[in-house]
């Protein structure tokens, strides 16, 4: 069961390493085109939550993040045993939460850098980072896990 903590650690390390690379090698708002105009690396900072909401509310983010970390650890040890999808989802959630929390504590802001334009609808997606991607994947995996568990439960009731 503890092997999944390596996934959380990997997310935190990859997240912090990529953010360090951005801070050390790019000027703020500098953009490097990777696949113009749809994908680029853009040095950006976020003092809020997702999409810049609640900017400057550091105390709130700290409380929420500590609560999320405690909840993840509780559910991981009490509810996720023998459920690999839940274990992976919770560890991605843990790694993403810790990755952005480190930024907020030590930088006072979160370093974002992945810049995506969705071509069909011409939507400039909010700039994000590895921790944000891990959080999003965690939500998707946890939702899939809930659906799988629900179907297992219904199948067991029928038998």
Question: What DSSP character marks residue 123?
Answer: E
Give the Cβ contact number of residue 11 at 10 Å. 26
Q: Are 149 and 83 in contact (CB under 8 A)?
A: yes
* Pick from 102, 88, 80: nearest CA to 14: 102
Q: Beta-carbon neighbour count of residue 131 at 10 Å?
A: 28
Helices 58-78 & 84-106, crossing angle to 10 degrees?
160
The counts of H helices and E strands in the chain are: 4, 4
Establish whether 132 is a catalytic residue: yes
Q: Please tell me which residue in 36, 124, 132, 150 is annotated as part of the active site.
A: 132
Enter the tokens of residue 14: 């990859």
Question: Which of 15, 36, 103, 112 is an active site residue?
Answer: 112
**Tokens at 32, concatenated:** 């490097």
> Could you confirm whether 124 is annotated as catalytic?
no
Catalytic residue positions, numbered: 112, 132
């Amino acid at each position: 069961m503890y092997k999944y903590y390596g996934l959380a650690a990997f997310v935190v390390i990859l997240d912090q390493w990529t953010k360090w690379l951005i801070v050390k090698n790019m000027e703020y708002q500098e953009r490097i085109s990777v696949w113009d105009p749809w994908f680029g690396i853009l040095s950006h900072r976020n003092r809020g939550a997702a999409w810049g909401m609640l900017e400057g509310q550091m105390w709130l983010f700290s409380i929420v993040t500590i609560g999320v970390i405690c909840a993840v650890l509780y559910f991981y040890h009490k509810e996720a045993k023998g459920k690999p999808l839940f274990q992976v989802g919770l560890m991605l959630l843990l790694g993403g939460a810790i990755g952005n929390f480190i930024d907020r504590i030590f930088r006072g802001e979160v370093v974002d850098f992945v810049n995506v334009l969705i071509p069909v609808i011409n939507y400039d997606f909010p700039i994000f980072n590895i921790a944000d991607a891990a959080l999003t994947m965690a939500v998707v995996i946890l939702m899939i896990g809930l659906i799988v568990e629900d179907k297992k439960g219904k199948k067991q009731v029928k038998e």
